[in-house]
Structure 1
């Protein structure tokens, strides 16, 4: 999905995704998009993923997720209500989420660095979706270099090269700056999808929405015969 080939002389339409791998609504929205485009015989988008950190000030090692959520939402009852809402939406979309397995709220800067590097191999979507699965399905710490290297290998990247990059500061400032730039540009929540550099679609839209939207974009960009 990252580097589709134009079909029938039709130019591809840029679709920029702003997302954070620890955002459950990003998981739901991105999954619905990916499924819709996989089912489209002539999907019109060239997809690029961009970093957005919901918690940029977390320490590099992250923090206890239960404590973090309790403080953020003002008590366990509120956390349970938030989880119930997310789980209902995920269940409707057929997406597994195992909140009970997640013990850490990680700093996602390194995860975003991995997504950034995956662009060179046309593997951003594979990496992003694998990160969602590792965090929300298996409860793994996606700030752990070992976990990130395993994700890289599954997505077709060189895990040894990724391990070396993660051990240094390669692209750390650039990725953090891009995430900050997204906030300054007016993106206040994720998922956010920018179509053709000018149209914004926000929130976890349904698979049916993306199916219809992709069909409309494809029709609008198909050269006349």
Structure 2
């Protein structure tokens, strides 16, 4: 079964949904899955240097207080998944374009899932700037990618344009928020549905 997960690397619900997806897949011992990642940019106009998180919250939600109930709920759900979000550590809201390039670069490696998980962990648990080239290179190198290949990929305008094009493709499919999961190219799961729900839908669409 082909599975495509549309996500953004600064989306906490995507981290939760990604975790639940792989818990669900682990329940199918004798079935083979082909997992693909598709980028979705929550902030497509974010400069590559990112912006201060306090300024971002002010711009997007009006204030930090307005955003807090949503983040509290997300953090609670993450905790239930064994993910200890520490949003107070986050100082920069980054552009996620380069992180998506890194994910694309690893698509032929068995470590791709771990690269995605490490990007999420670096941001939501460690508070690292995942728009920072050095931080992303460290993640890539630790998971089997070559330093020079990563550097070249990040400098390529074609790669940046490709992420922007794929983001537009997600919008053209009617996707306006993530995570979204397609089973055999049919959008079936929208939002961070429970592991039980994902299992049920995989069985139904088998």
Q: Same fold (TM over 0.5)?
A: yes
2:86 pairs with 1:98: yes
1:58 to 46, 65, 70: 46
Using the alignment, how far apart are the partners of 2:77 and 2:86 within structure 1?
A: 13
Q: Give, in angstroms, the shift of residue 168 of structure 1.
A: 3.4
Q: Give, in angstroms, the shift of residue 26 of structure 1.
A: 0.3
Q: Which moved further from structure 2: 156-165 or 17-26?
A: 156-165
Partner of 2:57: 69
2:162 pairs with 1:174: yes
Asked which structure has the greater CA Rg, the reply is 1
Q: Give, in angstroms, the shift of residue 85 of structure 1.
A: 1.1
1:187 to 167, 175, 179: 175
Contact 1:20 1:52 in 2 (8 A): yes
2:192 pairs with 1:204: yes
- In structure 1, stretches of 5+ residues that fail to align are 1-12, 221-225
Partner of 1:4: none
2:1 pairs with 1:16: no
Using the alignment, how far apart are the partners of 2:22 and 2:49 within structure 1?
A: 30
2:140 pairs with 1:152: yes
- In structure 2, stretches of 5+ residues that fail to align are none
Contact 2:52 2:91 in 1 (8 A): yes
> What is the TM-score when the length of structure 1 is the normalising length?
0.85
Q: Which moved further from structure 2: 161-170 or 82-91?
A: 161-170
3-state DSSP of counterpart to 1:41: coil
Q: Give, in angstroms, the shift of residue 21 of structure 1.
A: 0.3
Q: Which moved further from structure 2: 204-213 or 86-95?
A: 204-213
> What is the TM-score when the length of structure 2 is the normalising length?
0.92
Give CA deviations for 1:128-148 in whole Å, capped at 9, x if unaligned: 111101110111111111111
2:108 to 101, 120, 124: 120
2:126 to 138, 144, 149: 138
